[in-house]
Amino acid sequence: MAELWYAIAALMLTAYVVLDGFDFGAGTLHLLVAKTDTERRQVLAAIGPYWDGNEVWLLATGGALFAAFPAVLASGLSGFYFAIFLVLWLLILRGVSIEFRSHLPHALWRSAWDAGFAGASVVLPVLFGAALGNLVRGLPLDQRGWFALPLFTSFLATPPVGILDWYTVSAGVFAALAVAMHGATFLAWKTTGPVHDRSHTLARRLLVLVAPLWPALTIGTAYVNAPMLAAASRRPLAWSAIVAAFAGLVVMWRSLRSGHDLRAFLGSCAFLAGMLGATAASLFPALLRAIDDDSLSLTAYNASVPADSLRIALSWWIVGFPLAVAYFVVLFRYHRGTVAGATGRDGY
């Protein structure tokens, strides 16, 4: 059961990155792809039906950890205390910016909220990517499974470590670029006119940038966590996920060249899902890896609740997860097609 709940937590996190990733990317790029107020409202109308529902998957990930691995959730929230507060404030800023920007028909008012939306959308993927980089690199866990991290130390990915070093910053920048690419493919699929054209062009440019950075980051990962790469070579799930990610890049490239925008977006989804799937499969069973001593790591086995509790939680997950998936299927189907611009009924 512990293995199953590890997979469920990884699935929830992957769903969050893929779904909320495209509206993060749209926010990152919206000042570049939209030059006028009408075009910016078009970008917001494209993500409008989805962005708040997408954030639910972050809560679902936390809920899965709370149900199955509460010690991991408690240690992570405590150790990343400052970073967690930054994430919460930035998530609030994004939501407020989207909802408030059109409350007053004043250029300065709207420009200020647009800047807040863009800034939060850029910084959030960096923070999430740096957090994942910390999990891959390892944390200074003590005998009780707790840790505390300064913001940075010497910027070396060796003890004593901080939240930010060359590896975690690299992971954060890569995450921001990958999410921006994801958002560009989404906007190319869902918009028309100049916004579509600019998004399509940026998607191609970002793909050319992200594709070589992926193996570069993998080399960095091998340096900070050699056992992880060794484990990946022996695990079929990890290799399958890597193949899916590579296939996603190929599909994106071919689809962007041929003008198949939906196919390019699906390729981007496969790329992000494949990378996260490969990471989870390679790290298993570690959830919080100790950088100094692997015996101190919090794993799916030593941090899980009793098996009976996992079975009870699974019975509820089996009911809730299909309902959530059905909701998103209906949502995407109801809002199928492109968005020419925001209507008078939209609050953008």
E strand or H helix at 89, and its extent? Answer: helix 81-100
What domains, with CATH codes, occur in the chain? 2-312 (1.20.1630)
For residue 74, the tally of other CB atoms under 10 A from its CB is 16
Instruction: Name 155's Cβ contacts closer than 8 Å, sequence gap at least 6.
Output: 162, 164, 165, 166
Q: How far apart, in whole angstroms, are the C-alpha atoms of residue 247 and residue 166?
A: 29
What digits encode the pLDDT tens for the residues 296-322? Answer: 899 999 999 999 999 999 999 999 999
Instruction: Give the per-residue pLDDT at 149.
Output: 86
Angle in degrees, CA 217, 221, 226, rounded to 5: 150
Instruction: Give the per-residue pLDDT at 346.
Output: 59
Instruction: Give the per-residue pLDDT at 347.
Output: 57
What digits encode the pLDDT tens for the residues 98-118? Answer: 989 888 888 899 999 999 999
pTM: predicted TM-score of the whole model, two decimal places: 0.93
Burial per residue of 187-226, b for 16 or more beta-carbon CB atoms within 10 angstroms, e otherwise: bbbbbeeebbebbbebbbebbeebbeebeebeebbeebbe
Instruction: Give the per-residue pLDDT at 140.
Output: 92
Instruction: Give the per-residue pLDDT at 345.
Output: 56
Instruction: Give the per-residue pLDDT at 97.
Output: 93
Positions in the chain short of pLDDT 70: 341-348
